[in-house]
């Protein structure tokens, strides 16, 4: 979290990874300790280092065993409800990203519509927007969507890494969803065309139309957001 935004992936460099491990483990211990103090909760944590035989245990081996025992003795039915395990945690985060994406889309739509309105006020018809305007609009949209895209990619990477580690088929299916859904979402964004030319000539994702000139694509990490613009 300093000097550079952390890339949420396995750190290849040995000494860097060890240093990070030490620092973050310390930070975690502190945070668990604080949570326990502030909220008077019973908590425990066990961390097995990369090559180490002894795990770090907080607050003590006895307490950890006690808590786990208490958990294991619960009826199975109860266990599954409301439990925040890894999958649920990631699923929740993915859902939240979806929601953020939705809001971002709405904001973008509003922003772009008002921009177009402004251009109209400047003396031209909405139907007169030229190729330069459309290109700049495309870049503007891209800048906004890119930030969302990055977050989704990051999330997807994390999910993929985790599922690889766990070798769980279920997790893998889950892992792909956020990206797929996000891309679907992005590709459904033909609202820009709607705003520009609400009647016809709007073609996206194939389908036969009339004379159409594609605006140069805006590249994303692993996909494309294609914006087509019909002009005379």
Partner DNA sequence: CTATCTATTATTAGTAC
Partner DNA sequence: GGTACTAATAATAGATA
Helix axis angle, 169-187 relative to 86-121, nearest 10°? 10
Q: From a second copy, DNA, none, which one binds at residue 118 (CB under 5 to 8 Å depending on kind)?
A: none
The candidate with the shortest Cα–Cα distance to 7, out of 171, 211, 221, 153, is 153
DSSP, collapsed to helix, strand or coil, labels residue 68 as: helix
Q: Which of residues 6-65 bind DNA (CB under 7 A)?
A: 6, 14-16, 18-20, 22-24, 26-28, 30-31, 34
- Dihedral of CA atoms 217, 220, 225, 231 in degrees, nearest 10, equals -20
DSSP, collapsed to helix, strand or coil, labels residue 199 as: coil
Q: Which of residues 3-42 bind a second copy (CB under 8 A)?
A: 6, 8-11, 17, 20-21, 24-25, 27-29, 31-42
Q: Based on CB atoms, which residue is closest to a second copy, 15 or 199?
A: 15
Q: Which of residues 134-193 bind DNA (CB under 7 A)?
A: none
**Beta carbon of residue 195, minimum distance to DNA (angstroms, whole number):** 23
Q: Give the Å distances, CA to CA, from 99 to 149, 182, 190, 213.
A: 13, 10, 19, 33
Cα 158 to chain centroid, rounded? 10
**Beta carbon of residue 89, minimum distance to DNA (angstroms, whole number):** 13
For residues 182 and 179, what is the distance between their CA atoms, to the nearest angstrom?
5
Q: From a second copy, DNA, none, which one binds at residue 4 (CB under 5 to 8 Å depending on kind)?
A: DNA
Which residue bears the tokens 């893998």?
A: 172
Binding-site string for a second copy from residue 193 to residue 232, where x marks contact by CB under 8 A and - marks none? ----------------------------------------
Q: Which of residues 100-129 bind DNA (CB under 7 A)?
A: 100, 103
Q: Which two tokens stand for residue 120?
A: 């109209």
Q: Which two tokens stand for residue 136?
A: 């700049």
Q: Is the dihedral of CA 76, 78, 79, 82 positive or negative?
A: positive
Residues engaged in binding a second copy (CB under 8 A): 6, 8-11, 17, 20-21, 24-25, 27-29, 31-50, 53-61, 63-65, 67-68, 70-72, 74, 78-79, 81-87, 89, 158, 161-162, 165
Can you give the binding site for DNA, defined by CB under 7 A?
Answer: 1-6, 14-16, 18-20, 22-24, 26-28, 30-31, 34, 96, 99-100, 103
């Amino acid at each position: 979290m300093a000097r550079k935004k952390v890339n949420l992936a396995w750190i290849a460099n040995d000494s860097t990874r060890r240093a990070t491990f030490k620092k973050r483990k310390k930070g975690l211990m502190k945070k668990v300790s604080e949570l326990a103090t502030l909220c008077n909760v019973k908590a425990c944590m066990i961390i097995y280092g990369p090559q180490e035989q002894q795990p770090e245990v907080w607050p003590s081996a006895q307490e950890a065993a006690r808590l786990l025992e208490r958990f294991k003795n619960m009826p199975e039915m109860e266990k599954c409800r409301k439990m925040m395990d890894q999958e649920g945690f990631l699923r929740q985060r993915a859902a939240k990203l979806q929601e953020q994406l939705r809001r971002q889309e709405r904001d973008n739509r509003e922003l772009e519509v008002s921009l177009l309105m402004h251009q109209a006020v400047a003396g031209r018809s909405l139907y007169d927007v030229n190729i330069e305007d459309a290109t700049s609009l495309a870049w503007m949209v891209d800048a906004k969507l890119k930030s969302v895209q990055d977050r989704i990619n990051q999330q997807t990477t994390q999910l993929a890494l985790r599922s690889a580690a766990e070798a769980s088929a279920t997790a893998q299916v889950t892992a792909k969803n956020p990206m797929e859904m996000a891309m679907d979402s992005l590709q459904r964004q033909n609202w820009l065309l709607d705003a520009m030319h609400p009647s016809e000539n709007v073609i996206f994702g194939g389908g036969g139309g009339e004379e159409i000139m594609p605006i140069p694509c805006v590249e994303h990490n692993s996909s494309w957001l294609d914006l087509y613009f019909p002009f005379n």
